[in-house]
Chain A
Amino acid sequence: DGGITQSPKYLFRKEGQNVTLSCEQNLNHDAMYWYRQDPGQGLRLIYYSQIVNDFQKGDIAEGYSVSREKKESFPLTVTSAQKNPTAFYLCASSRSAQGQSPLHFGNGTRLTVT
Chain B
Amino acid sequence: GQQLNQSPQSMFIQEGEDVSMNCTSSSIFNTWLWYKQDPGEGPVLLIALYKAGELTSNGRLTAQFGITRKDSFLNISASIPSDVGIYFCAGLQGAQKLVFGQGTRLTINP
Contacts and interface: CB of A to CB of B under 8 A. Distances in A.
B75 to A, nearest CB: 20
B44 interface: yes
Contacts of B95: 97-98
Contacts, number: 65
Interface string A43-64: 1110010100000001110000
B48 interface: yes
Interface in B1-56: 1, 3-4, 6, 30-31, 33, 35, 40-45, 48, 50
Contacts of A50: 96
B39 to A, nearest CB: 10
Interface stretch (B66-74, B76-84, B100-108): B100-108
A78 interface: no
Given A42-B102, A50-B96, A102 B42 contact: no
A40 to B, nearest CB: 7
A108 B41 contact: yes
A27 to B, nearest CB: 13
Contacts of A41: 102-103
B61 interface: no
A107 B39 CA distance: 10
Given A42-B3, A100-B30, A106 B92 contact: no
B42 A59 contact: no
Interface of B: 1, 3-4, 6, 30-31, 33, 35, 40-45, 48, 50, 88, 90, 92, 95-96, 98, 100-103
